[in-house]
Amino acid sequence: MTGPNEPSVQQLADRAWSRGAYPHVLDCGTEPDKMSTVDAIAAALSFPDWFGRNLDALYDSLTDLSWLPPGEHVLIWVDADLLKRADPKAYLAIHGVLSDAQRALAPGGERADNRRLTVVLASS
């Protein structure tokens, strides 16, 4: 649940659209685990069928995004704290991959091109 000062998922998506970015909502449900979260990321960002379903493949796909239109892609991770509480190690690993991918696609990053990734943590 969002607090009084926290924007809703819809508001975050609207903000992304208003600046010309593409919002992608990542909702892993009420009982997330490592694989369901990886699968939910793949679904939210429409990963190709060849996606390997592991953290290395997750990074490779996040830093490619060639199947998506050019521009900024905002991944809105809903209730990430659920995974953090259920499996802190998995949360840290996935959060680390997402952070690394953001840096790699940022201007001046090692994989910078005409697509950028922004990850936003949100509460439902």
Report the pLDDT value the prediction gives residue 106, as an integer from 0 to 100.
Answer: 92
Tell me phi and psi for residue 49, to 5 degrees. -60, -25
Convert the pLDDT of each residue in 34-79 to its tens digit: 999 999 999 999 999 999 999 999 999 999 999 999 999 999 999 9
71, containing H or E segment: strand 71-78
Tell me phi and psi for residue 79, to 5 degrees. 55, 45
Helix and strand numbers (H, E) in the chain are: 5, 3
Name the DSSP letter for residue 6: S
Residue 2 makes CB contacts below 8 A (sequence gap 6+) with 8, 122, 123, 124
Q: Which of 46, 48, 49, 26 is CA-nearest to residue 36? A: 26
Convert the pLDDT of each residue in 82-120 to its tens digit: 999 999 999 999 999 999 999 999 988 888 889 999 999
Structure-token pair, residue 42:
């793949």
- Judged against a pLDDT cut of 60, whether residue 3 lies above it is answered with no
